[in-house]
Amino acid sequence: MENIKIKVNGSEVEVSPGKTVLQVLSELGIHVPVLCHYEPLMPQGSCRLCVVEDRGVLKTACTTPVEPNMDIKTDTPNVINSRKLVLQLLFTERNHYCMYCEVTGECELQDLGYEFGLDHFEFPTYERKFPVDNSHPFIIMDHNRCVLCRRCVRACSEIAGHFVLGEMERGIDTMIIADMDIPLGKSSCVSCGLCAQVCPTGAIIDKRSAYLGREVQSDVIYTNCDLCPVGCGIEVYKKKGANFIVKIYGDWNSDVSQGVLCKVGRYLSLYDEKKRLTGIRVKDDFGYRKISEDQLIKLVKDKIDKGIAYVDGTLFNEELELIKELFKDKVYALNPEEIPISSNITLNDLDNRNFYVVIGTDLNREYGTVGSIVKRNVIGNKAKLMVIDKEFNSLAKLADYVFNIKDMSMALEIIKKQDDVVVIYKDINSDEIKLLSSLTNAKFLYLPKETNSLGLQKLGIKHNNITAEYVFVFGKNLEGLKNLNIKDSTVFVFTPYENDEIHKATVLVGISNGFEREGTFYNLEGKKLKREKVLRPTYDTVDLKTFLSQILGRAEKVS
């Protein structure tokens, strides 16, 4: 389409049609105040802070498309006074006493008050006390701070796909509600936390992050979550000059997750209370005694030739490569996992499909970002959903078809008649794989059990159950240790957490974990992602990559 001509503050400009006035003005570098508008969300034009004048008429810049012959003015007295009036009314409507608010200093409403030089309440302030909902484990909802911009409602549906938040009543009585107006902590909220990320004021805040520090007091590290094989893009806010994380946000620019996060990625690593394994210990007749890292290096060096290694899929590629270098072809996966049908669809392409089949996983509980994609298409775009499982699956209530996994052949008859089918599956047996493989009209997305299961596969590391005089076990998921025949072996275990299985070890080594280490892994799409180191280790632990490099005789600086 041809460009159109409009005037902006008296100057003629050529713009491409289809854009909003706000988009054009921001491309021209003209600042327009906004509040309900938030770039990843659909514009809704409710706060009216962005008004501009077009041929004498005030229009919301965020929702008005450009059209020929517009004569946009952004700085007339009418525009400035209208914006100021809107702001004065917003400050009056609920209890915006900034000094009592957790987000003071980084609140978009407060910033606008400063921008417009508001130094007093122009109208009588609203006396009514609104509820504070503290029922949720991770989130506080303080309705006194709410400006009814509905960013939370839109983010919960349009992006996160959960459709939990909504609104009731009208005008001054409008309230943001969860489900049919029940406490957020009792609602169907899955704790993705996107509502808190997009809230412009202190109306929805993360409990754990409260009062830990403002964004300007933080270093922001862009990296990927390594707590599941999705590998969502995250922004980690680390307090400047300190060794703790203030909060984790979804990264809007991530080509894996485009801002979406799940409970695990946003909250669980910050609430990690599992008991850490610390120090280096050797078992003798009197129990475990501590030894130094130098003693450990010597002990390990002597045993590698007669040893084999077991690894899990929580290890980074760099750690796995070093273990392969040390143990050659005697490296095995601790936990059995075959990738049955290779995935042939990316997370980006998962959007806008007609028919989703989800097998053996409850996407409200695990792989949450995949769940968001499926739900926003099923609830928002009316795509069809089939759930196949052997146990309760909370997605079933959204599904058009629900099958027990033993009735897979019946389910397949329906799937075969659909077009544009995606099968998202986990943990199925060989008969089920055979049935699924017969589908010619479907794309497949396999959900691996461990973060770097694909990394193990790429390095040719497979599960086996063999033994040796010395068995070295590396990783976090030690389930597989239960089944190994190692009672006559000397077992070295390198792991970050205390665990029921670690008593089998003769040598126990606590290793760095989470944000204390860095490395790469392959996510479920096969993308190589980087996890940055954010924190100094706070426990007495060994950095596995550095330790393995030392065994190989390579000097590597301990960071």
The binding site for ligand FES (CB under 6 A) comprises 34-37, 45-50, 60, 62
Task: Give whichever of 20 and 254 is closer to ligand FES, judged by the CB atom.
Answer: 20
Residue 92: exposure state from Cβ atoms within 10 A (0-12, 13-18, ≥19): middle
∠ CA 71-75-81, rounded to 5°: 115
To ligand FES, the closest distance from the beta carbon of 36 in angstroms equals: 4
Cα 83 off chain centre by: 35
To ligand FES, the closest distance from the beta carbon of 86 in angstroms equals: 9
Q: How far apart are CA 106 and CA 91, in angstroms?
A: 16
428-433, Cβ contacts within 8 angstroms, sequence gap of 24 or more: 428/340, 428/359, 428/360, 432/359, 432/405, 432/408, 433/340, 433/341
To ligand FES, the closest distance from the beta carbon of 28 in angstroms equals: 17
Task: Give whichever of 50 and 508 is closer to ligand FES, judged by the CB atom.
Answer: 50
To ligand FES, the closest distance from the beta carbon of 519 in angstroms equals: 42
Task: Give whichever of 37 and 384 is closer to ligand FES, judged by the CB atom.
Answer: 37
Task: Give whichever of 35 and 461 is closer to ligand FES, judged by the CB atom.
Answer: 35
To ligand FES, the closest distance from the beta carbon of 151 in angstroms equals: 10
The DSSP H or E segment spanning 6 is: strand 4-8
User: What amino acid is encoded at 345 in this protein?
Assistant: I
Closest CA to 251 of 239, 265, 270, 264: 265
With a CB cutoff of 8 Å and minimum separation 6, the contacts of 412 are 435, 436, 438, 439
Task: Give whichever of 62 and 70 is closer to ligand FES, judged by the CB atom.
Answer: 62
Task: Give whichever of 42 and 433 is closer to ligand FES, judged by the CB atom.
Answer: 42
Task: Give whichever of 46 and 78 is closer to ligand FES, judged by the CB atom.
Answer: 46
Q: How far apart are CA 410 and CA 416, in angstroms?
A: 10
To ligand FES, the closest distance from the beta carbon of 197 in angstroms equals: 18
Task: Give whichever of 91 and 332 is closer to ligand FES, judged by the CB atom.
Answer: 91
Q: CA-CA distances (angstroms) from residue 40 to 305, 334, 369, 441? A: 55, 42, 16, 32
To ligand FES, the closest distance from the beta carbon of 108 in angstroms equals: 10
Task: Give whichever of 47 and 156 is closer to ligand FES, judged by the CB atom.
Answer: 47
With a CB cutoff of 8 Å and minimum separation 6, the contacts of 253 are 222, 233
To ligand FES, the closest distance from the beta carbon of 26 in angstroms equals: 12
To ligand FES, the closest distance from the beta carbon of 415 in angstroms equals: 44
Q: What count of other Cβ atoms lies within 10 Å of the Cβ of residue 533?
A: 17
To ligand FES, the closest distance from the beta carbon of 50 in angstroms equals: 3
Q: How far apart are CA 328 and CA 309, in angstroms?
A: 9
Task: Give whichever of 83 and 143 is closer to ligand FES, judged by the CB atom.
Answer: 83
Backbone dihedral region for residue 203 (phi beyond 0: left; psi -120 to 50: alpha; all else: beta): alpha
Cβ–Cβ under 8 Å, residues 488 and 360: no
Site of tokens 């808190």: 196
Q: How far apart are CA 15 and CA 4, in angstroms?
A: 5
Q: Is the dihedral of CA 389, 392, 395, 399 positive or negative?
A: positive
To ligand FES, the closest distance from the beta carbon of 37 in angstroms equals: 4
Task: Give whichever of 47 and 408 is closer to ligand FES, judged by the CB atom.
Answer: 47
DSSP string, 300-338: HHHHGGGEEEEE-TTS-HHHHHHHHHHHTT-EEESS---
Strands 287-290 and 307-311: unpaired
Q: Where are the beta strands (DSSP E) in 398-514?
A: 401-404, 421-425, 442-446, 470-474, 490-495, 507-510
The DSSP H or E segment spanning 455 is: helix 453-458
To ligand FES, the closest distance from the beta carbon of 252 in angstroms equals: 18
Task: Give whichever of 50 and 227 is closer to ligand FES, judged by the CB atom.
Answer: 50
